[in-house]
Structure 1
Amino acid sequence: MQRFYEIGLRSNFSFLDGASHAEELVERALFLGLSGLGLADRNTVAGVVRLHAAAKLNGLEFRPGARLVFDDETPELLAYPLNRKGWGNLCRLLSEGNLRSKKGVCTLWEKDLLAWCEDLLFIAMPPPLASHADVETFETRLASLRSRLADRLYLALVPRHDGADQRNFAELDGIARRLGLPLIATNDALYHAPSASRLPMWSSPSASM
């Protein structure tokens, strides 16, 4: 039986999003029997070193990446380097966003993505799809990315546990089929256990591992 690989993980380096330390995330992954972890903190790779060290110490496969959150209408993307050049491109992309903003803020636009997208694999994270208009808008934006990123773009299936997952999964499956995008599952995990959540009450609902 193939074990689950959590590719949408955020750590406490995702300010106001993630809540768990690297060691806690690795310990939980081992307890759950996961095959590996992919770390994608919000517009940063600052947490990669600690999680890499914790994963290596425990023999857990690890992939470093980042969650790209844009200031225009570009969908949120998990970005994972395919090789050393890809890692350099990801770092340059994030540097572009950091240099144009005040300290602690990373402002990314689609043009940054297109300038530094080579040798990176991307996973599009769907927004809430509450209406047919939401579905059409998201699909249009994905189609534009698909034409530029080709076979390096995937679409995430993310459970929201809001009673609408079956409908949302059907919508995402339809988008994936029409655009020729592979689907990949993630819990979009923010912390290693529900008790670890330290997020403000107004934050959007999310999942633990």
Structure 2
Amino acid sequence: MSNTFAPFGFSQHRGTGSAPTYEQTPRSIALTAGAIYAGDPVTSQADGTIAQSVAGTTQIAGIFVGCEYVSATLNRKVWSPYWPGSGSALANTTVTGYVINDPNAQFLCQSGNAGSPVAATDVGANINFAIGTGNALNGLSGAYANQATINTTATLPFRIVALVTAPPGSNGTDSASNGNWIVVAFNNVDTKSLTGIV
């Protein structure tokens, strides 16, 4: 059975976090920032905030998992699995985003953007991502691992750790067709890189 291409971003698979934070680090989001969805890679900005990463970005700040802000329409603080974008928060207030940036975290994601699947021989290689289209109804990312970028390049943001093969026959487990699911770990993230980000 071929895989259905339905990317869902980078969903935490393993890590060393525990209650109450589960590795979620607070970071500021600019009031003028574009939308950021749960599971999106995010990048540190020059002003200290984070924003949705652009496809092809090498060093990332982590994976976005939600935010809290004072809603411009409700006039009260809300928690959301995604940042809806500019104009969502009340002027002169702050937006706090939550990011997983633990260097040991691992994430489940779908591969795509090439004619062939990620193969077992690709485990240990590095890979970049594509952003895709986020879902404003459930707040989930449309990001996926870009199979066309698999390489040994040291600056790519993710490392392929494993292929998802179970349960057999479920979506994403067909390693013979494009769009199979994989497990990745950080390769080039702010908390793991030796290069300054400013």
Alignment TM class, shorter chain as reference: under 0.3
What is the TM-score with the length of structure 2 in the denominator? Answer: 0.26
Greater relative contact order (CA < 8 Å, ≥ 6 in sequence): 2
What is the TM-score with the length of structure 1 in the denominator? Answer: 0.25
Richer in strand (by share): 2
Richer in helix (by share): 1
